[in-house]
């Protein structure tokens, strides 16, 4: 076999193998989208043939039905709103904390750093009962505050920011100090503008984590007013009449905001995941 033949064979194996695996891998999602476009009677017809993946008689009527039966826009906006607030506050509060841990000397620094690192993997599920009680005592049940405030400070974000800021050259900070810039001003004027990558990375990681929130909203959100998208599709799944077309449509709709986030910030997400692996 010549080198050329070998490359060709390699290419063929690569493309055929990957296409097959990828098709099998995404087939559940294709079925979801295809079913969301089909009339109800067509969804379970011919399940045992490949035709089940092709939306014959496709229409958007299932999507219209979802929007008629529940206020899907509101639930999406609810989720976007509270996740957005968490992310913005997270970026601010954890980045300044991470910066202090990277570049300042102060009493208790080592203690705080040890605490941050050891609490990074702390499972919030273990403390949700007293957290719920705390929310009730604060009068926050069914308030935005319960969804947002407890999750603003995050050891993982602090750690990510610290790791990034450690690499900011001290010369740069000293130069700023000589120019008469105080440490606070130096951070906001000099360091923050050159740290876009780490902010984008933490942003997308945090967005994904909270967009998926399920257990905590289940506990602290009781009415429709502040229902999140995840709770909404779960409720819709169980409410009569159970038609699978609209259910599949609701699932598809709920994935769209995340899809957009991924397309926009894909690079940072991939880097973020990858860097946690290499540094860990």
Partner 1 sequence: MEKAINKRSEKKAAYLFVIPAVILLAAFLIYPALQTVRYAFTDYNIMRPDHIKFCGFNNFTELFGDGDFWKAVTNTLYFTALVVPFQTVLALALAMLISSKRKGVSIFRAAYFSPQVTSMVVVAILWTVLYNSNPDSGLLNALLVKLGMEPCGFLNDPKTSMNSIIFMSAWQGAGYQMMIFLAGLQGIPKEQYEAASIDGAGRLKSFLYVTLPDLKNVIKYVIMITVIQAMKLFTQPYVMTKGGPQNSTRTMVYYVYEQGFQKRNFGYACAVAAVFFVIVVILSLGMKKLIKAD
For residue 118, count other CB atoms closer than 10 A to its CB: 10
Q: Could you tell me which residues come within 8 angstroms of residue 180 by beta carbon, excluding any fewer than 6 positions away?
A: none
For residues 193-203, b (16+ Cβ closer than 10 Å) or e, as one string?
eebeebbbbbb
Q: How many residues does the chain have?
A: 280
Q: Is 21 in the site for partner 1 (CB under 8 A)?
A: yes
Q: Within 13 Å, how many C-alpha atoms sit on residue 230's CB side?
A: 18
Stretch that binds partner 1, among 61-69, 80-88, 189-197, 252-260 (CB under 8 A): 252-260
Q: Count each helix (H run) and each strand (E run) in the chain, helices first.
A: 14, 0
Distance spanning both ends of the chain, measured CA to CA: 43
Residue 212 sits in the site that holds partner 1 (CB under 8 A): yes
Judging by beta carbons within 10 Å of its beta carbon (0-12, 13-18, 19+), is residue 125 exposed, middle or buried?
Answer: exposed
Give the binding range for partner 1 (CB under 8 A) out of 56-64, 80-88, 113-121, 190-198.
113-121
Tokens for 15?
């493309």
Q: How far is 18 from 12, CA to CA, in rounded Å? A: 10
Of 5, 121, 167, 169, which one interacts with partner 1 (CB under 8 A)? 121
**Position 93 contacts partner 1 (CB under 8 A):** yes
Q: Which of residues 213-232 bind partner 1 (CB under 8 A)?
A: 214-215, 218-219, 230
- State which of residues 54, 64, 166, 259 lies at the interface with partner 1 (CB under 8 A): 259
131, 141, 168, 190: which one contacts partner 1 (CB under 8 A)? 131
Kindly state the smallest distance separating residue 87's Cβ from partner 1, in Å.
15
Enumerate residues 167-206 that contact partner 1 by CB under 8 A: 177, 182-184, 187
Q: Which of residues 62-91 bind partner 1 (CB under 8 A)?
A: none
Query: Binding to partner 1 by residue 273, rule CB under 8 A?
Result: yes
Q: Which DSSP state fits 45? A: T
| Choice between 58 and 173, CB closer to partner 1 | 173
Least distance CB 68 / partner 1 (angstroms)? 20
Least CB distance to partner 1 at residue 65 (A): 17
22 binds partner 1, rule: CB under 8 A: yes
Cis peptide before 173 (omega within 30 of 0): no
State which of positions 36-65 bind partner 1 (CB under 8 A).
44, 47-48, 52
């Amino acid at each position: 076999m010549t080198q050329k033949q070998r490359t060709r064979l390699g290419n063929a194996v690569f493309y055929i193998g990957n296409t097959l695996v990828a098709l099998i891998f995404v087939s559940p999602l294709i079925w979801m989208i295809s079913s969301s476009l089909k009339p109800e009677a067509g969804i379970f017809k011919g399940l045992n043939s490949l035709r089940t993946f092709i939306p014959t008689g496709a229409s958007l009527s299932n999507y219209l039905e979802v929007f008629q039966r529940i206020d899907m826009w509101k639930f999406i906006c609810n989720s976007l709103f509270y996740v957005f607030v968490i992310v913005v506050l997270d970026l601010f509060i954890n980045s300044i904390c991470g910066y202090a841990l990277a570049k300042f000397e102060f009493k208790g620094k080592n203690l705080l750093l040890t605490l941050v690192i050891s609490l990074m993997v702390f499972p919030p599920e273990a403390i949700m009962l007293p957290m719920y009680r705390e929310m009730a005592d604060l009068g926050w049940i069914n308030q935005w505050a319960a969804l947002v405030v407890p999750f603003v400070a995050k050891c993982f974000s602090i750690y990510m920011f610290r790791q990034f800021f450690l690499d900011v050259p001290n010369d740069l900070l000293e130069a700023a100090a000589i120019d008469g810039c105080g440490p606070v001003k130096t951070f906001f004027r000099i360091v923050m503008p050159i740290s876009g990558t780490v902010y984008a990375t933490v942003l997308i990681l945090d967005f994904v984590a909270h967009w998926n929130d399920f257990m905590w909203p289940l506990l602290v959100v009781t009415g429709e007013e502040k229902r999140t998208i995840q709770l909404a599709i779960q409720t819709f799944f169980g409410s009569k009449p159970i038609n699978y077309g609209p259910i599949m449509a609701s699932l598809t709709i709920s994935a769209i905001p995340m899809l957009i986030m991924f397309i926009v910030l894909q690079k940072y997400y991939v880097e973020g995941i990858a860097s946690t692996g290499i540094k860990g």
